[in-house]
């Protein structure tokens, strides 16, 4: 308390912001509030969260309702966007800036300070030391010491005086800045996030096959102009064989500007399309409300003697099998066909998991047979009379669901991430290492004194010093 005397208010505030104690308080507050935020589903229907409260804490419905009301008024149901959470993040950033600025001058001084020769008694007190005596002259041993030092990566300077010859070197002095580079990277990431919030948007777009849109939609249906047109040319789902689990779903998109096609790309989850800073992510899909009403089927009719013809038709229309008098009439469509225990076909899902068409075949004047052709099961495509009808595709029935994102800050965030990786590497895997080798002649032999220090990872430097000491004595013997 004594030293606090004479400090101004500003000094005290500065000290508070530079303290680890404030950081701990901020860490704790962010963590504690976030825990509430992970339990309550954010921006969800109240009923959902009431269920969560009932299940997790055993409240009755009434109490849960009340508790949720209180939490809601404190903005906990959308807390990551609330003013007080942003204020906490701001406090965190301020803390980080001021504590870094507070310590930086001292650290910079240590970085800039060049390694200097040391009195022998100082070298003897280093955290790593090694002494031995060798016959010969100091000038001879110096060469071995020089090569020994460079073999473990140091570029030594030398001096000679009353106490003999001294070699000294350092490396990695800049690594002391690693911590501050890491701090800076956090600020850069936060800055990138702010840029994203102010100059970007997150929206979605459900685009049926064949349709064009010049806007995307935010929550509550707010339209956001894209600045160009996007067309969905096709959409397709691939399933794992024998299951209804999608393996991949893909949209073929075309970007158009002023009515002209500019670029084309097919997107899947994990591989989006970016145009003029707007990125489209494959995120979901579904069937259009009208169902197969306006959809087009792509069938390939193959006759028994090998003639084939591709047909694009709608439900209710008919087609002919080439070279035969047989015609097929598409009378029904099912997005997901299955067969019940009595062998009767039924539709088990509104999703297009197992699309099938019912085709009634006839020759002039008489009905032949009818049956379901399933897109995923080619064995259903062969007809009893040796003809085949291949169910290749359907079109205009599904929409592709896309996340639409514009975020000019994302590059800043990535930059921050790279800087963070560099900063962490410097902080944890590199160190500032200094080494001194003093050679003192005494009665026909030379006393070799090695001293070294490292601000981190002392043991690894210790091993290197050991290696160097062996090299110096061995080199000397070998040299004779």
DSSP-derived 3-state class of residue 57: helix
Q: Is 90 in the site for other proteins (CB under 8 A)?
A: no
Considering only CA atoms, which of 475, 449, 471, 479 is closest in space to residue 128? 449
Place of tokens 């290749």: 392
Q: Which of 163, 428, 441, 473 binds other proteins (CB under 8 A)?
A: 428
Q: How far is the CB of 268 from other proteins (least distance, A)?
A: 7
Sole window of 23-31, 215-223, 344-352, 367-375 interacting with other proteins (rule: CB under 8 A):
23-31
Residues 468, 153: Cα–Cα separation, whole Å: 11
Q: Is 420 in the site for other proteins (CB under 8 A)?
A: yes
Please say which residue, 31 or 258, places its beta carbon nearer to other proteins.
31
Residues 447, 293: Cα–Cα separation, whole Å: 97
Q: Which of 247, 264, 290, 477 binds other proteins (CB under 8 A)?
A: 247
Q: Is 37 in the site for other proteins (CB under 8 A)?
A: yes
Q: How far is the CB of 191 from other proteins (least distance, A)?
A: 14
Residues 374, 354: Cα–Cα separation, whole Å: 7
Place of tokens 């949720």: 68
Q: Which of 11, 12, 16, 20 binds other proteins (CB under 8 A)?
A: 20
Q: How far is the CB of 34 from other proteins (least distance, A)?
A: 5
**Residue ranges in 95-114 that form contacts with other proteins under rule CB under 8 A:** none
Q: Is 56 in the site for other proteins (CB under 8 A)?
A: yes
Residues 437, 152: Cα–Cα separation, whole Å: 13
115: tokens are: 């390694």
373 near 361, Cβ under 8 Å?
A: no
Considering only CA atoms, which of 185, 141, 188 is closest in space to residue 167? 141
Q: How far is the CB of 56 from other proteins (least distance, A)?
A: 8
Residues 120, 148: Cα–Cα separation, whole Å: 20
Residues 84, 29: Cα–Cα separation, whole Å: 11
Considering only CA atoms, which of 474, 478, 446, 480 is closest in space to residue 134? 446
DSSP state of 279: E
**Residue ranges in 400-419 that form contacts with other proteins under rule CB under 8 A:** 403-405, 410, 413-414, 417
Half-sphere exposure of 462 (CA within 13 A, CB side): 9
Q: Count of CB atoms within 10 A of residue 63's CB?
A: 14
Q: Which of 154, 168, 249, 391 binds other proteins (CB under 8 A)?
A: 249
* Binding footprint of other proteins, residue count (CB under 8 A): 47
Please say which residue, 164 or 401, places its beta carbon nearer to other proteins.
401
Residues 427, 172: Cα–Cα separation, whole Å: 11
Q: Which of 210, 272, 322, 323 binds other proteins (CB under 8 A)?
A: 272
Q: Which of 12, 13, 16, 41 binds other proteins (CB under 8 A)?
A: 41
Please say which residue, 288 or 424, places its beta carbon nearer to other proteins.
424
Q: Is 243 in the site for other proteins (CB under 8 A)?
A: yes
Q: Which of 57, 84, 174, 240 binds other proteins (CB under 8 A)?
A: 240
The contact set with other proteins (CB under 8 A) reads: 20, 23-24, 27, 30-31, 34-35, 37-39, 41-42, 56, 80, 193, 202, 240, 243, 245-249, 268-272, 279, 281-283, 403-405, 410, 413-414, 417, 420-421, 424-425, 427-429
């Amino acid at each position: 308390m004594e030293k606090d005397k004479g400090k101004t208010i500003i000094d005290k505030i500065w000290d508070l912001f530079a303290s680890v104690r404030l950081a701990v308080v901020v860490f704790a507050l962010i963590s504690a509030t976030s825990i509430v935020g992970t339990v309550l589903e954010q921006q969800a229907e109240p009923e959902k969260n009431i269920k969560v409260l009932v299940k997790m804490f055993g409240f009755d419905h009434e109490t849960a309702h009340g508790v949720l009301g209180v939490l809601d008024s404190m903005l906990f149901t959308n807390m990551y966007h609330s003013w007080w959470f942003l204020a906490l993040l701001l406090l965190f950033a301020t803390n980080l800036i001021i504590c870094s600025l507070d310590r930086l001058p001292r650290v910079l001084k240590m970085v800039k300070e060049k390694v200097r020769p040391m009195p022998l008694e100082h070298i003897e007190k280093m955290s790593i030391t090694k002494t031995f005596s060798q016959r010969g002259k100091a000038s001879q041993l110096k060469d071995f010491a020089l090569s020994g030092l460079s073999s473990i990566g140091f570029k030594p300077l030398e001096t000679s005086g009353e106490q003999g010859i001294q070699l000294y070197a350092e490396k990695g002095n800049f690594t002391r800045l690693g911590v501050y580079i890491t701090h800076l990277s956090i600020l850069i990431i936060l800055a990138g996030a702010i840029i994203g919030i102010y100059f970007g948007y997150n929206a979605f777009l459900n685009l049926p096959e064949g349709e064009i849109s010049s806007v995307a939609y935010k929550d509550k249906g707010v339209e956001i102009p894209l600045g160009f047109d996007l067309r969905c040319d096709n959409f397709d789902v691939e399933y794992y064989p024998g299951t209804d689990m999608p393996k991949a779903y893909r949209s073929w998109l075309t970007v158009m500007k002023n009515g002209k096609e500019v670029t084309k790309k097919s997107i899947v989850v994990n591989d989006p399309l970016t145009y003029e800073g707007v990125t489209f992510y494959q995120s979901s899909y579904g069937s259009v409300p009208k169902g197969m009403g306006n959809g087009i089927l792509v069938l390939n009719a193959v006759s028994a003697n090998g003639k084939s013809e591709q047909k694009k038709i709608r439900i209710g229309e008919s087609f002919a099998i080439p070279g035969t008098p047989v015609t097929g009439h598409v009378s029904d469509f099912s997005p997901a066909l299955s067969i019940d225990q009595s062998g009767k076909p039924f539709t088990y899902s509104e999703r297009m998991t197992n699309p099938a068409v019912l085709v009634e075949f006839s020759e002039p004047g008489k009905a032949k047979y009818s049956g379901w052709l399933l897109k995923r099961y080619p064995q259903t495509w062969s007809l009893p009379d040796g003809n085949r009808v291949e169910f290749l595709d359907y079109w205009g029935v599904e929409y592709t669901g896309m996340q639409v994102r514009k975020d000019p800050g994302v590059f800043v965030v990535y930059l921050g991430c790279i800087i963070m990786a560099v900063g962490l590497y410097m902080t944890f895997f590199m160190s500032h290492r200094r080494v001194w080798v003093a050679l003192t002649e005494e009665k026909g032999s030379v006393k070799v004194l090695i001293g070294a220090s490292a601000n981190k990872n002392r043991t690894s430097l210790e091993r290197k010093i050991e290696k160097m000491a062996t090299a110096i004595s061995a080199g000397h013997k070998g040299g004779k």
